[in-house]
Amino acid sequence: MTTLTTPPEPTTHTSSKRIPTQQGLTGRQLVAQLVPAVRKLDPRHLWRNPVVLIVWLGSVLTTVLAIADPSAFAISIAVWLWLTVVFANLAEAVAEGRGKAQADSLRAARQDSVARLLGTDGVETQVAGTELRPGDRVVVEAGEVVPGDGDVVEGVASVDESAITGESAPVIREAGGDRSAVTGGTTVLSDRIVVEITSAPGHTFLDKMIALVEGASRRKTPNEIALSILLISLTLVFLLAVASLAPMARYAGAPQSTVVLVALLVCLIPTTIGALLSAIGIAGMDRLVRVNVLAMSGRAVEAAGDVSTLLLDKTGTITIGNRQASRFVAMPGVGDDELRDAARLSSLADQTPEGRSIVTLAEEQGGSGGVPQGAEFVEFTAQTRMSGIDLAGGRLVRKGAASAVHRWVGGDVAPELADAVDEISEAGGTPLVVAERSGTGGRVLGVVHLKDVVKDGMRERFDELRRMGIRTVMITGDNPKTAKAIADEAGVDDFLAEATPEDKLALIREEQAGGRMVAMTGDGTNDAPALAAADVGVAMNTGTSAAKEAGNMVDLDSDPTKLIDVVAIGKQLLITRGALTTFSIANDVAKYFAIIPAMFVAAYPGLDALNVMRLGSPESAILSAVIFNALVIVGLIPLALRGVAYRAASAASVLNRNLLVFGVGGVVVPFLGIKLIDLVVSPLLSL
């Protein structure tokens, strides 16, 4: 079974990433975050995390008791409880620290620029970039940095956007259309453009990105809140269980010290997941950043895991952007080689992908040779709708749309030609007619079948999505016949042909009315309403600012295929949360078996039978459980940051696997861990 991006595989288009890929977590990273983790001991920071706050209160209490009545045991418990809080903070600090590093590299791009403000009278004044307001117009020329987000209203320029996207190849930005948006912090490489500013200072795209990766604007997501409620109620149950145990123990003639009761409480409450919960959330957004997708909220990432319908644009997502020649259909009386060579000749100087694909196909079939002497290339124009070559001997070769070429040749349309053209159209392809004309007159040689080429591996990916319970809908401007042919070939579940932005919006609303969650990509201004309506709307960075405002994610690489990765990352986030919750709760079983016999073996010697781990002494048993409880947090930080592996499979089999690993594992691991710690602690305590 194939693995869906865990961790996300760098694909070719993301090879030049802005953010250095940090796969593993080094010990040095942990140590570096110790100081911020200790700083987070401030209870004002901890009130947001009730589980850890309880541990903090327990630490204070045991510290006071250890000072009042010092013993090696009490002091050890107090120290390890403090460490538990520090480790919990460490998880969050490490996750935030990774974001901060990314934010710093972005900040470097946000240099204070001087803007050339264009007055209404056409006079330029120099102002600081931070003083620009939406609606201001500024002039940017080659070598200058765009002072703020905006739309090009005049001119065309090539822009280096590597500061934002990490992509070094410049992009064209021009007035009007869907390629008019420029981002503050990018550099104009050539020409002069006038930009109308669209965002206020401090609220630019770059500012937003910095805030997002830093986690400054992080709020608890709905599912995190729901999980927190579960964790709080579990904490309350354990609080009651431990509080009521005090009088019960007194009755049993085995009164327990407060230190022991606090230790039991801390071991039972779900500290592991409580400590890692926010780190898991931050890491989820961080994983998106690593595939160059920015989520505007954690909620959007969560929604990605729930997506049940994917709307995918045909061009660029399902098919490679351009059509390719797949075969030559020669007319009666024309040799296959003759058509092949003519088609090749007409395309030799044609640099369009279609033209190049014709040359490739011809050469695969044996065509060869260079451009003949004295030949002249005729470029495609919108008027002629043909391109070709004029050879020195007066022979002219053209290829183009059937009607245009036919007009160029003159005469009646051969029925064979009409048949070939219809057949190709019906199969969803584009017929390109090749003809020649010389002194003796013109004739049609044949037809080149250009077809949309479905990207490699798409069918497998859609099968995978189907197994995950996700329906794929292809969106295309093609006619229904063509659309169906491609949809069948690619293996999507459904298609929307001759789609207008309104159709797209209507489809989203329809899916949502049925309770489905919809994800889509878009870049144009007219995509904005659909992007806003979709549960997960990924705007392409090359798109307009309207599109970027409307979506809840931005793909810096402008690669629509990535939607599939986004869904996988969303699922991974939720799985990690559920898996660590299960693990955390399952751990309690072993802790009970360590602590309960230790507490009551004096009163009821028979309870020694529960001491299945054969721990050294009651004190070492309790201390070992506390130490395990603290260390397991550190041990799980890498998993929380990396995420639990997600394979595309049915829900039942995913659950079986995770229950086995984190449920059964969660029961077994602490038995081993506590025993090992006890082997070390027991001799130390008896010193």
Partner 1 sequence: MGATAAGLLTILALVGVLALVYRPLGDYMAGVLTSTRHSKVETLGYRVIGVDPEGRQSARGYALSVVGFSVVSLVVLFAILVGQSVLPFSRGLPGMPWDMALNTAVSFVTNTNWQSYAGESTLGWTAQMAGLAVQNFVSAAVGIAVAIALVRAFTRRRNDDLGNFWVDLVRINLRILLPLALVSALVLVGLGAVQSFAPDRVVDTVLGGQQTLTFGPVASQEAIKELGTNGGGFFNANSAHPFENPTALSNLIEIFLLLLIPVCLTRTFGTMIGSRKHGYAVLGAMTFLWGAMLTVALVSEVGGHGDSARAAGAAMEGKETQLGTWASTLFAISTTGTSTGAVNSAHDSFTPVGGGAAMLNMMFGEVSPGGVGAGLYGFLIVAVLAVFVAGLMVGRTPEFLGKKIGTTEMTYVALYTLASPALVLIGVGVAIAMPSSADAMGNVGGHGFSEVVYAYTSAANNNGSAFGGITVTSTFFQLTLAAAMLLGRFVPILLVLRLAGSLARQGTVPTTAGTLPTHTVQFAALTVGVIALVAGLTFFPTLSLGPIAEALS
Residues 493-522 that bind partner 1 (CB under 8 A): 514-516
Residue the block writes with tokens 């330029």: 124
Choose which of 246, 418, 672, 679 interacts with partner 1 (CB under 8 A).
246
Q: Does 255 bind partner 1 (CB under 8 A)?
A: no
The residue among 654, 285, 317, 655 whose CA lies nearest residue 519 is 317
Ranges within 390-449 binding partner 1 (CB under 8 A): none
C-alpha–C-alpha distance, residues 58 and 265, integer Å = 9
In whole angstroms, the minimum distance from the beta carbon of 222 to partner 1 comes to: 6
The two structure tokens encoding residue 406? 């036919």
- Of 30 and 669, the one with the shorter C-beta distance to partner 1 is 669
> 661 to 680, contacts with partner 1 by CB under 8 A?
662-663
**Of positions 61, 194, 414, 655, contacts partner 1 by CB under 8 A:** 655
Range in contact with partner 1 (rule: CB under 8 A) among 72-80, 126-134, 185-193, 242-250: 242-250
Tokens of 363: 């050469």
Retrieve residue 454's tokens. Answer: 């479905």
Does 38 help bind partner 1 (rule: CB under 8 A)?
no
Stretch that binds partner 1, among 149-157, 438-446, 656-664, 679-687 (CB under 8 A): 656-664
Residue among 525, 520, 515, 471 nearest 494 (CA): 471
Tell me if 253 sits within 8 A of 603, measured CB to CB. yes
Integer Cα distance of 479 and 517 in angstroms: 27
For the chain, the residue count is: 687
CB of 311 to partner 1, least distance (A): 16
568-597: contacts with partner 1 (CB under 8 A): 570-572, 574-575, 577-579, 581-582, 585-586, 588-589, 592, 596
Number of other CB atoms surrounding residue 617 within 10 Å? 16
How far is the C-alpha of 521 from the C-alpha of 540, rounded, in Å?
7
Q: Of 662 and 671, which has the nearer Cβ to partner 1?
A: 662
Report the alpha-carbon angle 118-119-123, nearest 5: 80
Binders of partner 1 among residues 83 to 122 (CB under 8 A) are: none
Residue 617: helix, strand or coil by DSSP? coil
**Residue 652 within binding range of partner 1, rule CB under 8 A:** yes
660 is a contact residue toward partner 1 (CB under 8 A): no
Beta-carbon contacts of residue 57 (< 8 Å; ≥ 6 apart): none
- Report the residue number, 385 or 467, with the smaller CB distance to partner 1: 467
Between residues 142 and 236, which has the closer beta carbon with respect to partner 1? 236
Question: Between 85 and 465, whose beta carbon lies closer to partner 1?
Answer: 465
User: Under the criterion CB under 8 A, does residue 222 sit at the interface with partner 1?
Assistant: yes
Give the H/E segment covering residue 168: none
CB of 45 to partner 1, least distance (A): 23
Which region, judged by CB under 8 A, interacts with partner 1, from 358-366, 491-499, 622-630, 651-659?
A: 651-659
Q: Which of 211, 252, 401, 506 is the binder for partner 1 (CB under 8 A)?
A: 252
* Closer residue to partner 1 (CB): 455 or 467: 467
Among positions 459-488, residues that touch partner 1 (CB under 8 A) are 466-471
Q: Which residues have CB under 8 Å from 162's CB, separation 6+?
A: 16, 18, 168
Which residue, 172 or 237, has its beta carbon nearer to partner 1?
A: 237
Our finding on whether 642 is near partner 1 (CB under 8 A) is no
Query: β-strands 441-454, 319-330: how paired?
Result: antiparallel
**Which residue, 221 or 476, has its beta carbon nearer to partner 1?**
221
Instruction: Pick out residues in 267-306 that bind partner 1 (CB under 8 A).
Output: 268, 302, 305-306
The residue among 51 and 417 lying less far from partner 1, judged by its C-beta, is 51
Residue of 35, 142, 216, 241 interacting with partner 1 (CB under 8 A): 241
Toward partner 1, which CB reaches closer, 441 or 469? 469
Q: Least distance to partner 1 from the beta carbon of 552, Å? A: 16
Which residue out of 149, 313, 557, 588 is catalytically annotated? 313
Q: Work out the angle at residue 583's Cα, subtended by the Cα atoms of residues 297 and 469, and round it to the nearest 5 degrees.
A: 55
Q: Is 225 in the site for partner 1 (CB under 8 A)?
A: yes
Residues of 130-159 as b/e, b for ≥16 C-beta within 10 angstroms? eebeeebbbbbeeebbbbbbbbbeebbbbb
| Site membership for partner 1, residue 645 (CB under 8 A) | no
Indicate which single residue of 111, 372, 479, 604 sits in contact with partner 1 (rule: CB under 8 A).
604
Q: How many residues bind partner 1 (CB under 8 A)?
A: 74
In the sheet where 156-160 sits, what is the strand order? 171-174, 156-160, 187-188
606 binds partner 1 (CB under 8 A): yes
**Shortest reach from residue 92's CB to partner 1, in Å:** 20
Residue 622 vs residues 238, 594, 679: alpha-carbon distances, Å: 17, 7, 13
**Shortest distance, position 503 Cβ to partner 1, whole Å:** 22
Question: Exposure string (b/e) for 411-441, b if CB count within 10 Å is 16 or more?
Answer: eeeeebbeebbeebeeebbbbbbbbbbeeee
For residue 194, list its beta bridge partners: 139, 154
Residues between 531 and 560 with contacts to partner 1, criterion CB under 8 A: none
Minimal distance, residue 554 CB to partner 1, in Å: 23
- Bridge-based pairing of strands 536-540 and 518-522 is parallel
Touching partner 1, residues 296-355 (CB under 8 A): 302, 305-306, 308
The full DSSP string for 391-438 is -TTS-EEEEE-HHHHHHHH-SPPPHHHHHHHHHHHHTT-EEEEEEEEE
Amino acid at 264: L
Active site residue 313: yes
CB of 581 to partner 1, least distance (A): 6
- Provide the annotated active-site residues: 313
